Amino acid sequence: MMKEPGWFQTGLQRILSSWQQTALNLEVTDMNTALVIMAAGLGSRYEGGIKQITPVGPSGEIIIDYSVHDALKAGFNRIIFVIRKDIEKDFREAIGSRMEKLAGQVGAEICYAYQALDDIPGSVPAGRTKPWGTGQAVLAAKAWLDLPYMVINADDYYGVDAFSTVHEFLVHNHDDQAVAGFILKNTLSANGGVTRGIIKVDPEGFVTDIAETKDIRQEGDHAVAAGGQILPLDAHVSMNMWGFQPAYTALLEKGFADFLDHMKDPMTDEFLLPIFTNDLIHEDKVKVRVLESHDRWFGITYKEDLPQVLKDFRTLYDQGVYSQDLYSDIKHQ
């Protein structure tokens, strides 16, 4: 006849179970993850200024400040800036030095990778001056991509929840890739048409197609794209916020080599992350989960967008999303 465990044995089991669960939680939440910020275009101008370093916050913060803040708060602990070698000095002075100081205070790591025209297998086609695109930008950082990582643009504001959602996915999912699926109406400009990747999603929540769609404008209760295409305002769109597993990098590297071998116009063709990833989806080589985000995207596509972006950031401060000392909550985590 089996005896019921006594109070001491039961209590000990509960304590051990609690310790095991705590250890499991620590193992999961302390997992190393990286953020790749594609900033090699720093210095490319929109009319009226350099958009990536246009102050948008109350103390002169730029959009990159919010991306780094939101990433660190979500749990990312390696920040990789992909830049050009010719802007390194200016970048470190304007952005990098204070990010390095912050990282030292919170136990994170700042890395620099350099996107270069000649960083390719083989030689650069004579006369080529155009950068190779976002796919090559990520490959520039491959030395640091031995862990799950997220990729974003330097000049887009994505929102606090978007970072935490992608980070949570990377911590708990080690097989599939992910893309943040923003709601179309939350990504439009009142000052002109925009290009967005319209996402088609299957019943299980995976991407079946991403279609680059140009000149999207809101018209009443729907949106209209180039050629008169009607789009629902609640369509999911990609804003180039991705979550990748380390194994994805090898696919990207092979894809870039294939691209160079088969490009049609050596002067202008680009190896773009969304197009390549979409090709992998159609070839059944990867599965990409759509992580829905209801955050409002901010960006300065046109100079006329700046007043609204400034207003939107003031609203975030008024709502308590950010404090006047932007990084104070990170330093005290």
What tens digit of pLDDT does each residue of 139-188 get? 999 999 999 999 999 999 999 999 999 999 999 999 999 999 999 999 99
Of 24-28, 70-74, 173-177, the least confident: 24-28
For range 225-243, the mean pLDDT: 98
Of 30-44, 94-108, 215-229, the least confident: 30-44
What tens digit of pLDDT does each residue of 76-112 get? 999 999 999 988 998 998 899 999 999 999 999 999 9
For range 235-257, the mean pLDDT: 98
Give the domain ranges of the chain: 31-331
What tens digit of pLDDT does each residue of 263-285 get? 999 999 999 999 999 999 999 99
Of 16-30, 100-114, 206-220, 276-290, the least confident: 16-30
Q: Which amino acid is at 304?
A: E
Q: Is this model's pTM higher than 0.85 or not?
A: yes
| Locus of tokens 């990286």 | 34
For domain 31-331, give the CATH number: 3.90.550.10
What's the confidence (pLDDT) of residue 96? 93
pLDDT above 70: percentage of residues in the chain: 87
- Which band of pLDDT confidence, cut at 50, 70 and 90, is reported for residue 29? very low
